[in-house]
Structures are given as structure tokens and as C-alpha cells.
A and B are shown apart, each in its own frame.
Chain A
Amino acid sequence: MKRETSSARLVTCDMIYLYAITDRPELPVPAEPGLEGTSLFSVTHQDIAAVVSPLATAKVPPTEDNLWRHEAVEEALMADRAVLPVRFGTMLADDNAVQAVLAEHYADFVATLERVRGRVELSLRVLWEADQSPTPPSSHEFPRVPQRHSGELRGTQENSGRAYLLARLEEERQRQAWRQRAEALAGEIHTPLARLAAESTRQVLITPRLLLTAAYLVERDQVAAFRREVEALGATYPALRFLCTGPWPAYNFVTVNET
């Protein structure tokens, strides 16, 4: 085990906080401070490394500052190596535990590093106007049914039941047509962007207004082209709102199989 230890590191740390798995363990860790203002160090296993920092406490509250600190470390690492960002809040007992994780998932980590090397993640959300959606499905309340005091009301009752079912049927038909429209439109937007990406993920209508939520794994030198394509799409669909952020570490593309 090799350790890039900074002189500032205290020996009394209780926990190890894990930021990322990277390649090129020979590179020095960035000067970027870790959580609680500590110095980063790395734990190496063969040709990969875990970038970590000591923690005095076992609690890392997900405050905005802490979240951005975690992210800043990922981004500093991305400058000169392939990075598998680890989910916020991942702590291990000691260096040995970190070593064990690297050894256990070595093959997966190496393969995933290969996939993300030289690439970044771009995020896209596309909003459409709420009034394009049909009235949200009703609470499915049964319509008011006349009191069943006498047989003379039966006819009315049947009519109302029939009307209700027809209305529900129509509602369902509209809902499906609406969803199909959304799928088609999302596809028109997603397809040209996915062409510029090595991999992509997409979800349609997470909420009625959120037409498309997508992530794209893009070669660094394709980022500008990707942005231009988003702008071109924005011009093509002026009624839609395009929210594009990034480059991010490849959070959406580093799922490692767990047993």
C-alpha cells in the first residue's frame, strides 16, 4: 500500500471519507482541500487509486458547502485522470477497508474507468408548458349517484354510469395520446444529442412539465459541439425550455455491480 500523505494530516482520524476511484495512482493528489478542511491522500491498489481524506467525525451533514466540496474534489481530479465519482457520504473505517474495496471491485473499476476516460457528463432537462398536458387524471371519484329510493331512477343511474365510463375512457385516450406526443418529441430532441455521446440515459415525463431528463457521456472535445446542438434545438423548439448543465463527473455512468 502506498500513501500520498500530506504533512498536515493528523494521525488521529477516526474515519476515511471516499471521494473517487481513479486511474494514474502515480499522480500527486490535488491541493484541493477535502471535507472539514483536511488534506486529500490516496490509497493505491495496482494501477488504480482511491482518493480519500481523514474525517474526525463520523457524520458528514449534506450541507450545500459539503456537497460542493465533494464535487470540487471530483472536478480537480478530472483535470488529469479518469474518475469514478463516489456517492456523497461514503465513509470507511480505515485504509485497510479502502484497500479491500479496491481489491474486491478491481475488475469493475478498471472497466468503468476505461468507459469514462476522456469523457464528461452533460445534463439536460427539457420543460414544456403545463397547458400541453391534459387535465390530470381525476381523483377517480364516482360521480354523484342519485339516491336509490325507487326504481324510477334506475334509467338515470345507468346513463350516469355509462357517461362516467365514457368520460374515463376518453380521459385515458387523451392521456395516452399526450404521452405518445411527449415520447415522440423527447425522441426528436434526444436522438441528435445521443449521436454526439458515447452513452446516454433518458427519462420522459418524470413530472408532467418535465418532458425530458437526460444525461450524456460526451468526449471532452465534443462538449462544444454538444452545446451548439442544444442551442440549435432550442431555436427549433422555441416553446420548450432547455436546461443544460455540466460538464459533470460521470455520475450517471459509473454504476458498479454490487453483490
Chain B
Amino acid sequence: MSELVAKEKEVTLLDLLDRILDKGVILFGDVTISVADVDLIYLGLKVLLTSIEKAEQMRSMAAVRQSAWDVKRET
């Protein structure tokens, strides 16, 4: 994103998903195709999207894994 000044990459991706899959101009009817698929995909992601915490958890889990790995290497 050229103009974007985001502090967190994960947050930016979540913000993108939250917009691009759920908002914007939404057209219904027989002119559009496969929008239903996107709805399904979005529903699947919804839990992740609404809890930005998830990104935080993932990050701290990664940190834990990393330190476990560090300990392992030291021994």
C-alpha cells in the first residue's frame, strides 16, 4: 500500500479483509456471480476478524515458540 502508514502488518491485513470482503458496494441479483462464495469465506474469517486479539495472541505464541526454540538450541 503506497500511502499506508500502518504500525502493524497483521492489523492492516485484518483491516483489509474486514473491508474488502464485507463492505464496499455490494451488488445482489442475477447480474453478479459468486458473491455468495465470498459471504461464506467471510463468515469463516469473521471470528478472526472481530478479534484483533487473535493477531496479538498469534504474535505472543510465536514469541513463546521462538524462546522455546532458543532454549532448545542452548541446551
- Give the B-binding residues of A (Cβ under 8 A): 15, 18, 21, 58-60, 62, 64, 67-68, 70-72, 75, 84-93, 97, 100-101, 121, 123, 125, 127, 206-207, 209-210, 227, 243-249, 251-252, 254-256, 258
Contacts and interface: CB of A to CB of B under 8 A. Distances in A.
Given A90-B32, A91-B33, A100-B31, A248 B22 contact: no
A90 B35 contact: yes
Nearest to B32: A90
A130 to B, nearest CB: 8
A125 B7 contact: no
A123 B16 CA distance: 10
A71 B16 contact: yes
Contacts of B8: 243
Interface of B: 1-8, 11-13, 15-17, 19-29, 31-35, 37-38, 41, 50-53, 56
14 contacts: A58-B33, A62-B38, A86-B24, A87-B23, A89-B21, A90-B32, A123-B15, A127-B52, A207-B50, A210-B50, A245-B11, A247-B3, A251-B24, A256-B25
B25 A21 contact: yes
A195 B33 CA distance: 39
B28 to A, nearest CB: 5
Contact of B31 (A64, A84, A92): A92
Contacts of A256: 25-26
A89 B27 contact: no
A254 B52 contact: no
B16 to A, nearest CB: 6
A68 B4 CA distance: 13
Nearest to A76: B2
Contacts of A75: 1-3
B23 A252 contact: yes
Given A121-B19, A244-B7, A254-B23, 20 more contacts: A62-B38, A64-B13, A70-B20, A85-B19, A85-B24, A87-B20, A87-B23, A88-B38, A91-B33, A92-B31, A92-B33, A101-B31, A206-B50, A207-B50, A209-B53, A243-B52, A245-B15, A249-B19, A254-B25, A258-B28
